[in-house]
Each structure stands twice: as structure tokens, then as C-alpha cells.
């Protein structure tokens, strides 16, 4: 009886071992590895005790504030067993010589995001890096001083709207719309920021330098079922700088119009956005009569975009 039970369990254990990528008969598949060094860009000196995180684009997430946080789901076998080389995010700390090694991650040929440092040590963020390209050479990460974006929001386009600010990565040039829709990179910065007063000067940061960001002002109220874009603009930031941007341009004009259904019935709570060639967005919401007013629109030819919540903007 004991022999029968032992032989019955063995095939199951072997199957689980094979699926999980663990050694089945003495062969241990090597873990994926990415080795590198962290240095301070201005001096070239090694940076010790620096946290390095890497996440898979599409399966992992990075969140920046004064520190960077990583998350993601490991690949599982039978919902319980972690698959070898199945991590979608991983973490390491540089040693006294600045060297680090990230291990046991999935899909080294896929694009990954890698970040190191914090607001005090300095930061670096590299996008869409492919670990397979560094199999024969170490990755060099250079820490720089963080950057800030400084801006003052114009008043809300209508009374009763509460503004918040979101900072995201700007879309690549010529790729999709600039109207403030969230990007799909899996990276977030600072969370939503709520100005306490009108015309309050905002210091958005600290941010990893050397990248182009999208600053979006969102309007919300209990009367609309989504966050409407009322201002948006892209800006590149350099290390250690405070980059000033404005959402108000001299010489702008007022544009009015009306949004209706095919049958001619007015559509309320529609987000109407005018987008300029350089990526400035000025938005407004339609009222109960479907009318909108865009103020401060620069002269020229622009793209007009409409966004609505289907269930909440039906005619009538």
C-alpha cells in the first residue's frame, strides 16, 4: 500500500516541478539576470545603497513620489507556485561599488522600465529597456537631480467645478492624441494634486529628469460621471530645474458651439477640447442645451475632440 501511494504521487510532483520551472532531474534552468552599476552623473562616482526597480511594460507598475514604488504580478502555476523566471517586477540595492543584479524576471526580450534612486539621492528612469540587450555588457544608470514643473492654473471654465492636476508621461511625437488621456506605460507620478485656492502656484515634483511630461488639469463635480480635461500641456524637464509652463496664451479668442445627437437633440456633459499643433489643450463641458464655450484659444487651425460618457449624456 505504501509503495502504491508513493508511485502515484511522483508523477504529480514531477508535473508541478516542470510547470513551475524547478529542477526535475538535476537540471536547474539558469535565472534571467540583468547586472549593472549606478553612478552619479555629475561626478561619475559609484552610488551605494541605491534602490533599483524594474517592471515589465504591460504587466508591472511604477509609482513616483519622493520614492519610487514597483508592483506587478508574478507568473503562477496552478495559482500557487511561482514560475522560475516569472517575475514582472524585481528589486535590488546597489553595493558599495554601485553594482547591482536583478534576477528571475520574465521575458528579457520584452520592453521593461527601470528606475533607480529617490528625490534625495537623485533619480534616473529608463523606458522600454530590453534586458536581453545587456547579456554581455553591464547597464549603466546615472543619477541626476530631480526636476520640477511650475504652473498656475486658470480658473475653472464654469462655477462649481473642482480642478485637480495629473502628471503623466507625454505621448511620443506624432502618436495619438495629446488631450490628457492616461498613457499605457504603467507609470504614475505624484498622484492627483488638488489646488487649495484659485490661481495657486503649483510646484509639481520631484520628477525624474530628462523626460517629457504631460500636465493635465481635470474638472470634476457630482454632476458629471468622469474627470473632464480642461487644460493640458506637454513639457520637457532637465535635471535640477524648475520648468515654468502656462495654460494661458496672449491673443487668444473665444470659441462657442453646440453638441447634438444625430437627431438634433442637445447633449449635456460632453467634454469638448481644442488641441493646438504644439499640444496645448483647452477644454470645456457642454451645458444642458449642449452649448460649450472655449476661452483663450490661440488663433489658427486646431483639432476639436469630443469625449462623453454614453450612459450619462443621452438626449433628454
Options 3.40.50.300, 3.30.450.40, 3.40.50.720, 2.60.40.1120; which CATH number does 31-143 get?
Answer: 2.60.40.1120
> What are the residue boundaries of the structural domains of the chain, listed by start?
1-29, 31-143, 147-312
10 sits in which H/E element:
helix 2-20
Q: pLDDT-based confidence at 27, cuts 50/70/90?
A: low
Q: Is 165 helix (H, G, I), strand (E, B) or coil?
A: strand
Q: pLDDT-based confidence at 175, cuts 50/70/90?
A: very low
Q: What is the pLDDT of residues 246-303, one digit of tens each?
A: 877 677 889 999 999 999 999 998 999 999 888 889 999 999 999 999 988 888 888 8
Widest CA span of the chain, in angstroms?
91
Q: pLDDT-based confidence at 184, cuts 50/70/90?
A: low
What pLDDT score does 224 carry? 74
Task: Report the predicted TM-score, pTM, of the whole model to 2 decimal places.
Answer: 0.81
What is the Cα–Cα distance from 90 to 103, expressed in whole angstroms?
7
How does the average pLDDT of the chain come out, rounded? 83
Q: pLDDT-based confidence at 156, cuts 50/70/90?
A: confident
Q: What is the pLDDT of residues 70-94, one digit of tens each?
A: 998 888 877 777 788 899 999 999 9
What pLDDT score does 191 carry? 79
What is the Cα–Cα distance from 285 to 291, expressed in whole angstroms?
8
What is the Cα–Cα distance from 102 to 35, expressed in whole angstroms?
6
What pLDDT score does 197 carry? 66
Residue 159, pLDDT > 80, answer no
Q: pLDDT-based confidence at 63, cuts 50/70/90?
A: very high
Q: What's the distance, Cα to Cα, between the start and end of the chain in Å? A: 76
Q: What is the pLDDT of residues 102-127, one digit of tens each?
A: 999 999 999 999 999 999 999 999 99
Structural contact between residues 122 and 146, judged by C-beta atoms closer than 8 angstroms? yes
Provide Rg for the chain, Cα atoms: 25
* Residue of 83 and 63 predicted with greater confidence: 63
Q: Is 22 helix (H, G, I), strand (E, B) or coil?
A: coil
Residues 6+ apart with CB under 8 A from 24: 14, 17, 18
What is the Cα–Cα distance from 142 to 161, expressed in whole angstroms?
42
> Position of cell 526636476?
147
Q: What is the pLDDT of residues 129-153, one digit of tens each?
A: 999 999 999 999 999 999 999 998 8
What pLDDT score does 316 carry? 41
What pLDDT score does 65 carry? 86
Amino acid at each position: 500500500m505504501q509503495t502504491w501511494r508513493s508511485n502515484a504521487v511522483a508523477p504529480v510532483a514531477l508535473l508541478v516541478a516542470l510547470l513551475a520551472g524547478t529542477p526535475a532531474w538535476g537540471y536547474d534552468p539558469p535565472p534571467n539576470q540583468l547586472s549593472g552599476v549606478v553612478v552619479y552623473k555629475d561626478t561619475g562616482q559609484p552610488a551605494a545603497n541605491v534602490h533599483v526597480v524594474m517592471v515589465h511594460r504591460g504587466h508591472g507598475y511604477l509609482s513616483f513620489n519622493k520614492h519610487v514604488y514597483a508592483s506587478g504580478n508574478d507568473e503562477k502555476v496552478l495559482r500557487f507556485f511561482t514560475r522560475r523566471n516569472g517575475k514582472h517586477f524585481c528589486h535590488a540595492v546597489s553595493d558599495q561599488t554601485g553594482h547591482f543584479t536583478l534576477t528571475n524576471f520574465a521575458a528579457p526580450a520584452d520592453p521593461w522600465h527601470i528606475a533607480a534612486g529617490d528625490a534625495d539621492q537623485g533619480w534616473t528612469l529608463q523606458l522600454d529597456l530590453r534586458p536581453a540587450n545587456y547579456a554581455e555588457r553591464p547597464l549603466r544608470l546615472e543619477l541626476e537631480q530631480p526636476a520640477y514643473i511650475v504652473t498656475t492654473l486658470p480658473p475653472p471654465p464654469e462655477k462649481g467645478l473642482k480642478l485637480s492636476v495629473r502628471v503623466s508621461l507625454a505621448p511620443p511625437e506624432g502618436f495619438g492624441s495629446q488631450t490628457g488621456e492616461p498613457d499605457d506605460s504603467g507609470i504614475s507620478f505624484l498622484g492627483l494634486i488638488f489646488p487649495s485656492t484659485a490661481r495657486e502656484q503649483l510646484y509639481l515634483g520631484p520628477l525624474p529628469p530628462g523626460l517629457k511630461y504631460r500636465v493635465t488639469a481635470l474638472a470634476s463635480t457630482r454632476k458629471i460621471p468622469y474627470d473632464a480635461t480642461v487644460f493640458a500641456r506637454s513639457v520637457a524637464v532637465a535635471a535640477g530645474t524648475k520648468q515654468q509652463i502656462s495654460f494661458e496664451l496672449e491673443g487668444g479668442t473665444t470659441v462657442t458651439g453646440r453638441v447634438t445627437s444625430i437627431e438634433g437633440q442637445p447633449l449635456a456633459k460632453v467634454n469638448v477640447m481644442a488641441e493646438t499643433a504644439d499640444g496645448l489643450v483647452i477644454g470645456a463641458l457642454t451645458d444642458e442645451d449642449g452649448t460649450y464655450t472655449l476661452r483663450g484659444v490661440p488663433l489658427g487651425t486646431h483639432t476639436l475632440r469630443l469625449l462623453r460618457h454614453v450612459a450619462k449624456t443621452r438626449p433628454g
